[in-house]
Structure 1
Amino acid sequence: MMFATILQTVLRQVRRHPLYVGLNVFGLALGIGVFLTLTLLVRYEYSFNAALPDVDRLARVDTHWTMPGTPPGEVAGSTFRAMPFLREDFPEIEAGIRFEDTDLQTEREGVFTSFASGLTDPGFFGVFGLKLLHGVPDQALARPDGLVLSERAAIRLFGTTEAMGRTVPINRAGVTVTHTVTGVLARRMTPDFLSDIEMLAPFSSEDVTTRFCFRSWASDCGRIYLKFRRRGDIDAVNARLRDFVIRHAAGAEGDHTAFGVHPEKVYGLSLAKLDEARFRDFHVLYAEDGVDRTVINSIGLMGLLALALACANAVNLATARAGLRAREVAIRKTLGASRRVLFGQFMGEALLVAAIAGVLGLALCEILVPEVASLTGEELVVRYGLVGVVLPLIVLVCGLASGVYPALVLSGYRPAAVLAAARMPSGGRGAARLRDGLVTGQFGIAITIVICMLVINHQTDFMRTADPGYVRDGLLIGSAMPGSDLAAQRRMLDALRAVPGVVTAGFGELAPRPGTKNLGTYSYDGPAGPVNVYLLQDTVGAGYFEVYRPRLLAGRWFDIARGQDDVPSRDDMRTRMANVVVNAGAVSRFGFASPDQAIGKIIRSGGWTTRIIGVIDDVRFESPRQAIYPEIILFDTLAQRPFSEPIPAIRFQGVAEAEMARRLNRAWAGILPDVASDFSSVDARMAAYYSGDERRGRIFTLGAAAALLIACMGLYGLAAFAAARRVHEIGIRKTLGATGRQIVALLLGDFLRPVMVACLLACPVAWVVMRRWLAGFDERIALTPAHFLIAVAGAFAIAILTVLGQTFHLARAEPARALRAE
C-alpha cells in the first residue's frame, strides 16, 4: 500500500514538475554512472597482479645504485649473475627464474611480425603458476626449442588455439631458429604484468654461457623473480641482502666481473613484492607498469566527489521545491497523517528516485566504460560482481542523503500556519543558506577538478613539445643494428645516405628510447681534490652532430680529420689520450663554474685518460620525470673498430615522413634482410614516457565535465526556484523605479555569489595539489595564475549562461502582472 502511494506521488510530481524531477534523476544518474566507471578503473589498478597464484609469496629482485655525482636510484631489474647464489644462500626461496623482455619476430616474404615476448628459465610456471589451455606446465619450457604462445598469438599465427606441436620460425636479431609450440596460455581476465606476453621461450645455452649479464655483477638485461615458501620470508631475506652483496659481488682479486672491495658502497639489491609493485614501480627506474598511486586515488576521489555532487544537487532541488508541497502536507496532516508516515513517504520517494537514477547510472556506466578503456588503454570491463554489491549501497546512500533533510522539512510543516499563509513557505534563512552552501560546494569541487585538468593537460603537452636539446623535426631513428660487423655498419651508412631525401646519416649507441645504458666512473683532479662522477657513456660517429644538431655551449665538436678525436682501441687506451665531449650536467657535477672552464680539462676512468674538447647542452633521451644523466661522448670514425649495436639516425627534407620511413626501411633490408627495422620519429619513440599522464589527463577532463554539468544543474535548479519565489519582489522593485539592467545585475549577483566563494575556496586547494604533483617531474611547467584564471573565468561564464534565461525572464516581468500573480 505504501509503495503504491509512493509510486503515485512520484508520477504526479513528474507530471506537475517535470523540470525538477528530470534534473534530479539525470543529475543522480550522471553522478552514479561516473562513480561506477571510475570505481571500476581504480579497482583495475589496485587489483594489478593480485590474481597471480601465490602473489603474496612472489618478489622481484631490484638493483640499487649509489654512484658518485648522481642521485641514488632503484632499477627494476638485476644481474642474472646473482641467481645461483640466491638459491644457495637462502633456503627460504622455493623457486626462482630469470626473465628478459624481448620482441620475438616471425618473417614471411620479407614482412616481419613482432610479438611481445619473454625469454626465461624452464621453471617459469613453477614460479607463476599460470594455467595452460594446452600443454603441461612443468614440461612446456623444458626443451631448448620449446615455445609457449598466448591464445591471441596462436590465433594470429594459426587461426586456432589448437597449435600444439606446430613449428614457428622465430627471428631474433637476424638469426632464425625453429621452435615447436609446447604450450598455449589460457586467457586471463585479470590484469598483471604478464598480461601482454604473447610468446615465452627458454634462454639458449649460448645466452647463458656468453652474454655479459649472465656473467657480470655490473650488468642488467632482465629481471629475477623469486617465489618464497612463506610471505614473511620476503622481509627476512630482504634484510640480509646487504651481506649477500658483500659476500658475492666483491669477487676475487683480478675478477673483472665483480666490483672489488666494498661493493655495498655503490651497489645493492632489494626485493619488490609483486602484490605492491603497481604503485611502488612508479618510483623505480625502467619499471614499465608503475602508476602514481596519488593520481589513481585522485581519480577515485573524483568519482566519489561526482557522486557527492549529485547527492548535493538532489538535496538542493528537493529543498527548493519542498515549499511547493507545503499545502499537500498541511491537508494530509489535517486529515490525520502523522509526521512519521509523511517522513516515511518522502524517504520512500527519495529512494525510488535514487533507484531509477541507479538503473540509468548503470546504463551510463555501460556507455562510459568502453570510452574510458579506450582513453586509458586498459582492458576495462564492467564487473557485475562488484557492481551488484556497490550499486544497491549507492542507491541506499544517495536516497538517504538526498531525502533526509527534505523529508524532515516537509513532514515538519504546521498545517495551520501553512493554510493561513498567502505564500508557500521557502524554508527560511536556514534552507537558503543550505542551498547556497551546496551550490558553493558543488562549484568548488568542480573548479578544483577543472584547474587540475588544465595543469595536467598543460604538463603533458609540455612533455610532448619541450625542447629535448636537439632538433627533432626532420629526424628519423632506426632500430639497433645487431652484432659488431664493421663492414656491415659501413655499408649501412652508405645505403642510408644514398636514399633520396636524406640530408645526412650517423650512428650513436644511445637514442630516444628505453634501453641498456653504459655507465662508468670518471675522476677530475680539481683544486679541492679529486671529484668522481658517474657518467653515461655514448659513442657517436661522423654525421651525428649534423643529424641531431645538439647545442654546442663551449669548445668544438669532433673532427674526423683529427686523429686524436677517434676513440682509441682497447690496446691503446692506456697509452693514448682521447678527446671527448661532455654535457652541461657533467660540467656541473665536476664543479666547473662554466662550460668554457671545462675545455681542455683532463678526466680519467681507471687507467684511461681523456681531454674535454667540447660541451653540449643536456640532451633528453628518457622520461621527463627522470633527471638527465651527466654524459660523456666518444667519437668513432669506423676506421678501425665497429660500434656495439649502433642506432642509425637520419635527417631528411623534402619528403613526407611516412614515405621517408618506407624508403629507409627498404634500404635497411638491402643490407640486413633478416633483421626487422622500424625508422620512426622522436615523438613516436618517446610517447611511452608521457602517454600514461596523457591518458589520465583525459580522465580528469571527463570528470571535470561531469562535475561542471552536475554543478550547473544545481545552480539552474536554484535559479528556477528563485524565479518562482521572487516574482512579487521583482514587481515591487520595478514599480519603485528599478530598471531591467539593475534587476539583471541584482539577480546575477545573487546567483553568482556562491560561485565566487567557490572559486576562492578552490584555487588554494588546487594550487597545493598540483604543486605536489608537478614536483615529480624533472622538467615541468610553472604553476602560473593563468591556469586558475582560465578555470575561474570558465566557471563564471558557464554559471552566467546557466542562469541567464531565468534572470532575463524575471527582469522582463511586467510589474502589474507580477503583483497580481501574488
Structure 2
Amino acid sequence: MFATILKSVLRQMRRHPLYVGLNIFGLALGIGVFLTLALLVRYEYSFNAALPNVDRLVRVDTRWAMPGTPPFEFAGSTFRVLPFLREDFPEIEAGIRLENTDLRTERDGTFSSFVSGLTDPAFFSVFGLKLLHGTPDQALARPDGLVLSAGAAIRLFGTTDVMGRMVPLNRDGVTVTHTVTGVLAHRTTPDFLSGIEMLAPFSSGDMTTRLCFLSWGSDCGSIYLKFRRPGDADAVNARLRDFVIRHAAGADSDSSALGLHPEKIFGLLLAKLGEARFNDFHVLYAEDGVDRTVINSIGLMGLLALALACANAVNLATARAGLRAREVAIRKTLGASRRVLFIQFTGEAMLAAAIAGVLGLALCEILVPEVASLTGEELVVRYGLVAVVLPLIVLVCGFASGIYPSMVLSGYRPAAVLAAARMPSGGRGAARLRDALVMGQFGIAITIVICMLVINRQTDFMRTADPGYVRSGLLIGSPMPGSDLAAQRRMLDALRAVPGVVTAGFGELAPRPNTKNFGTYSYDGLAGPIRVSLLQDVVSTGYFEVYRPRLLAGRGFDATRGQDDMPSRDEMQTRTANAILNARAVSRFGFASPDQAIGKIIRSDRRMARIVGVIDDERFESPRQAVYPEIAFFDTLAKQPFSEPIPAVRFQGGAESDMARRLNRAWAGILPDIASDFSAADARMAAYYSGDERRGRIFTLGAVAALLIACMGLYGLAAFAAARRVHEIGIRKTLGASGRQIVALLLGDFLRPVAVACLLACPVAWVVMRHWLAGFDERIALTPAHFLIAVAGAFAIAILTVLGQTFHLARAEPARALRAE
C-alpha cells in the first residue's frame, strides 16, 4: 500500500504541481511557525523551573499603600527583615539577601562592567547552583571571596581554571581585591540568575552602615527564602501581617521603624519563584516579568498558523478532489473497495504532511535564531520537544487535511462519474466548506494583522510620546556616590566647562529606576486634611534649563531668592521651604487647577513647604505605570550636599556620541576611580518598551505567515475556479457579457468570504486590543484607522492574489471555451 501511495503522490506532483506545491509549502509554513512559537512559549513557561527545589523558593516582596496613591507591589524588601523572618518562622530552611549591582574591573583607565550580585554565604544553600570549580558551602564564606561565571572567567583570564586568582574590583570608586573561590557551571535553562557574571559577599561595612540593612522603610535588593516543604510558603504568607506589626512598629522618633501602625501602609508577601515570570509583570522593578496574556497570544498565534495551514490543505484537497473523480470511478469499476481508496487517499495526505513536517522543521531551524534575536532570549531548538510534538503534528495535520477529501473521493459512484460530461465539483456542500475555510483563514489573519498594527503603534507611541521634558540635546550621567559637597561643586563646574554644553544641573531623580524617597504631606482643605504620599526630588541650579519641563503655574526656582534654597536639617521645623509640585500631585491634593495651588502650604512630619510653582508630569519610568505625585526642592550647593545626585546636561552643536565622550572625560577628571556613562534619555528609557517592541515583531512575523497561508488557499481556489468555470464564462460572453462584467463577477465571488471574514475579525480584535491597552497608563486611542488599514490591506492582497486567474478567465475566447467542454 505504501508503494501505491508513494507512486500516487509522485504522479500528482507531475500532473498538478501547483496544487501539491501550495499544499505542502502551506503546511510546512504553518508547522515551522508553530514549532518556532511553541519553543518561545515553552521558554517563557519554563523560566526558573529548572532551579533546584523551585517549589520551595520564594522572593520576599513589599507592598506599599501610601496615602493618596494606589497600592503597589515591588520586587524587593528591606534587608532588615531577614533575621526576624528566620527567628519567627522555623519553616524557613535558609534565606539570603541579594543586591544586583555592577562590579567593575579597571585596566589603563578603562572600566569593564560585569552583571554582578552581592549576597550572603548561604547563596548556594538556597539556589543549589553547580560549580565547575570550588565548593558551594565555602565559595562565599570568606569576606574577599568571588564566584565567577564561566564566561566572566574566560573574559578576565582566558580560561575557567582560575581558582585562587586575584581580581581587583571597583565598586563606587573603592577598589577591593577579591580572590576567586568558585566558578559557576554553564547553564542553558532560563532563570533570573542566568545572566549573573560575578557573586561577592556583603562586606561588614554594608551590614552596619547602609540604611537598607537598618531601616524598615529602605531597600536595596531582594530577599530569597527556601522553605522546608512546598506548602510552608502559603502558611507563612498568611502570618506576615502580624509579623510586620510585631517588628516594624515603633515611635515616630524611631527612624528604623514605620510608626505605630505599620500594617496600614506596609506589607510583606512571598512571591513563588516558579510563578514569578508572569506574576512579576505587575510588580514594580521586576526586570524579568512578562505579560502572560501576550505569551499566550503568541502561542495561540502559532496554533492558529497551524490551523490555517490545515484548513488550507483541506481547501486545496477538496477543490482538487473533482480532478480525480474518473480515476476513482475506473478503480472502483476494476474492483477497488471504498475502504482501500479511503486508506490510500488518507495515506497520501499523511505522506504530504510528513514531507511538510520535514520542511517545517528546516524552516524552524531558520526562524529560531531570528526570533531569538528579535526577543533577546536564548532560544534554541529543543529536539526533545520537537521529537514528541512533530510526529503528533504530522498525524493530526495529515488526518485533518485528508479525512474529508478521502470520504468525498472514495464515495464517488462510478456510473454517474463516467456518464457525466464534466468532473463533479463536490456540490454545494463542498463549495460552502471551501468558503467557510477561506472566511476562517482570512478572519484569523485579519485579527492578527489588526493586533499587530495596534501593538506596533502603541510601541511607537511609547517611544515618541512627550515625557514632559525635552529629550533632544539631553544627556544624563550616572549617580555620583557619596555626599562630598566640594566634589559635587567641582563636578558641575567641570561639566559646564565642556565645549558644547549649554548648561548642567543635578537632580536626585532621572529616567530609569533609581533610589526613591517618599514623604507623606497633608493639606488642610475645606473638607478636612488631605494626605498624599509624594515622591521627593531635590534639584540644583540649571536643572530646569536642562530638562525644560513645562511650567503650568507659578514660577521656577531662582538662585537669587534666598528663600528658595532648601532649609538645612536644623532649619526644617522653623523655616518653610519653597517647593514645586507636578500636575499629578496638584490633582491628588484636590486643587481645581494648578493656579489654585500656588501659595498654599503643605506639611509633613519633618517640614513645611510652600507651593511656588506647578510643572507638567515628567515620565521617568514605564508607560504602564502611573506617574507619581512629586514634590521638588531646590539646593544651590551653598550649604549642604546632594544625596547621590544624577548629573544631566543640555548641549548643542555636536554629535551625541562625541559629547558623551567629552562628558565622561570631564567626569573622570573629578572622579577617576568611578565609571560614568552619559547617555540619552531615550536610551535610558528603551528598556521600558523594548519588550513590547520585540514581541510586536513576533506578531508581525505571525501576521505575515497567516496572510501568506490564507492567500495560498485563496489562490488555490481561484485556480480551481479557473478550471471549473471556463464553460460558464464562455456562455456568459456568448450572451453579451463584457470582460469588465466578468471580472467584477469573479472578484465578487472570490472576495465575498474575505468581506465576511473582515466583519467577524474586527469586533474580536477590538475586544482583545482594548483589554491589552488598558494595561498602560499612557496609551493610544483605538481608532477605526487600525481596522480600516487591516481590512483594506486584506482586500488588496486578496485582489492581487486572484487577479491573474480572474483576468485569464475573463479573456477566454467563448468558442474555444465551449469547444473545450
Name the TM-score, length of structure 1 as normaliser.
Answer: 1.00
- Which residue of the partner structure matches residue 306 of structure 1? 305
For residue 140 of structure 1, give the secondary structure of its aligned residue in structure 2.
coil
Aligned equivalents of 1:65, 1:393: Cα separation in 2:
49
Letter aligned with residue 140 of structure 2: L
Secondary structure at the counterpart of residue 318 of structure 1: helix
Per the alignment, in what secondary structure is the counterpart of residue 715 of structure 1?
A: helix
Report the secondary structure of 1:426's partner residue.
Answer: coil
Q: Which residue of 2 aligns with 1:793?
A: 792
Map of 2:374 onto structure 1: 375
Q: Match of 2:233?
A: 234
Match of residue 290 from structure 1: 289
1:635 aligns with 2:650: no
Could you say which residue in structure 2 is the equivalent of 1:809?
808
SS at match of 1:470: coil
What whole-Å deviation, never above 9, does each CA across 1:131-150 have from its counterpart, x for those lacking one? Answer: 00110000000000000000
**Structure 1: how far apart are the matches of 2:363 and 2:127?**
37
Does residue 601 in structure 1 map to residue 600 in structure 2?
yes
* Structure 1 residue 113, shift from structure 2 partner: 0.6
Aligned position for 2:159: 160
Give the aligned partner of residue 351 of structure 1: 350
1:94 aligned partner: 93
Q: Which residue of 2 aligns with 1:543?
A: 542
Alignment of 1:395-794 (within 5 A): 395-794=394-793
Inter-partner Cα distance in structure 1 for 2:579 and 2:563? 10
Letter in 1 for 2:736: G
Match of 1:176 in 2: 175
Distance 1:505 1:407 in 2: 77
Deviations 1:543-576 (A, max 9, x none): 0000000000000000001111000110111111
**Structure 1 residue 607, shift from structure 2 partner:** 3.8
Deviation at 1:50, TM superposition (A): 0.0
What corresponds to 1:27 in structure 2? Answer: 26
The 2-side partners of 1:273 and 1:545 are apart by 43
Q: Residue 306 of structure 1 aligns to which amino acid in structure 2?
A: A
SS in 2 for 1:59: strand
- Cα drift, residue 650 of structure 1: 0.3
Aligned mates of 2:158, 2:302 — CA distance in 1: 41
C-alpha distance after superposition, 1:717-759 (max 9, x if no partner): 0000000000000000000000000000000000000100000
Q: Please tell me the residue identity of whatever aligns with 2:469.
A: Y
Following superposition, the deviation at residue 252 of structure 1 comes to 5.6
Q: Deviations over 1:241-277 (max 9, x none)?
A: 0000000000367422101211100000000000000
Work out the CA distance in 2 between the residues paired with 1:608 and 1:727.
Answer: 89
Once the two structures are superposed, the pairs formed by residues 55-94 of structure 1 within 5 Å of their partners are: 55-94=54-93
Gaps of 5+ in 2: none
Question: Within 5 Å, which residues of 2 pair with 1:63-212?
Answer: 63-212=62-211
Write the deviation string for residues 363-394 of structure 1: whole angstroms up to 9, x where unpaired: 00000000000000000000000000000000
CA contact (8 A) 2:507 2:538 kept: yes
Q: Secondary structure at the match of 2:104?
A: strand
Contact 2:511 2:620 in 1 (8 A): yes
Q: 1:457 to 1:253 in 2, by over 3 A?
A: closer
Aligned equivalents of 1:514, 1:814: Cα separation in 2: 73
SS for the counterpart of 1:138 is coil
What is the one-letter code of the residue matched to 2:282? H
User: 2:252 touches 2:258 (CA, 8 Å); kept in 1?
Assistant: no
The residue that corresponds to 1:224 in the other structure is 223
Determine the C-alpha separation between the residues in 2 that align with 1:69 and 1:608.
Answer: 18
SS of alignment partner, residue 409 of structure 1: helix
Q: Give the AA of the match of 1:808.
A: F
Aligned-partner Cα distance in 2 for 1:152–1:700: 33
Counterparts of 1:382 and 1:248, CA distance in 2: 50
Output the amino acid matched with 1:216. S
Deviation at 1:527, TM superposition (A): 1.1
Describe the superposition over 1:658-717 as per-residue Cα deviations: whole angstroms up to 9, x where unpaired: 111011111111111100000000110001000000000000000000000000000000
Specify the SS of the correspondent of 2:569.
coil
Q: C-alpha distance in 2, partners of 1:318/1:25?
A: 11
For 2:200 and 2:786, how far apart are their aligned partners in 1?
51
CA RMSD, 1 decimal: 0.6
Query: Residue type of the partner of 2:196?
Result: I
For the residue of structure 1 that corresponds to 2:67, the secondary structure is coil
Distance 1:673 1:120 in 2: 27
1:137 match: secondary structure: coil
Amino acid at match of 1:397: V
1:773 is paired with a residue whose SS is: helix
What is the aligned partner in structure 2 of residue 245 from structure 1? 244
Q: Which consecutive aligned stretches of 4+ in structure 1 deviate over 4 angstroms post-superposition?
A: none
* Identity level (%): 87
What letter is aligned with 2:716?
G
2:654 partner SS: coil
Partner in structure 2 of residue 264 of structure 1: 263
Distance 1:775 1:285 in 2: 17
Give the match for residue 215 of structure 1: 214
**Cα distance in 2 for residues equivalent to 1:608 and 1:511:** 24
Aligned partners of 2:491, 2:258: CA distance in 1, in Å? Answer: 37
Q: Which position in structure 2 is the counterpart of 1:51?
A: 50
Q: Distance in 2 between matches of 1:541 and 1:646?
A: 9
Instruction: Report the residue type matching 1:230 in the other structure.
Output: R
Give the match's secondary structure for 1:525.
strand
Q: Secondary structure at the match of 2:97?
A: strand
2:252–2:260 CA contact under 8 A, matched in 1 = no
User: Are positions 1:16 and 2:15 aligned together?
Assistant: yes
For the residue of structure 2 that corresponds to 1:101, the secondary structure is strand
TM-superposed deviation, 1:109: 0.6
Alpha-carbon shift at residue 220 of structure 1 (Å): 1.2
CA offsets 1:300-354 (integer angstroms, 9 cap, x no match): 0000000000000000000000000000000000000000000000010000000
* Amino acid of the structure 2 residue aligned with 1:778: D
Separation of aligned partners in 2, 1:608 and 1:811 = 85
Q: SS at 2:571's partner residue? A: coil
Question: What is the CA deviation profile of residues 204-225 of structure 1, one whole-angstrom value per residue up to 9, with x for unaligned ones?
Answer: 0000000000000001110000
Equivalenced residue count is 821
Q: Distance in 1 between matches of 2:253 and 2:453?
A: 58
Q: Distance in 1 between matches of 2:162 and 2:684?
A: 34
Helix, strand or coil at the partner of 1:321: helix
Q: 1:274 aligns to what?
A: 273
Q: Secondary structure of 1:80's partner? A: coil
**What runs of 5+ residues in structure 1 fail to find an aligned partner?**
none
Equivalent-residue separation in structure 1 for 2:42 and 2:320 (angstroms): 38
Deviation track 1:67-101 (CA, whole Å, cap 9, x = no partner) reads 11000001111000100000000000000000000
State the distance in 1 between where 2:512 and 2:106 align: 24
Structure-2 separation of matches of 1:550 and 1:592: 20
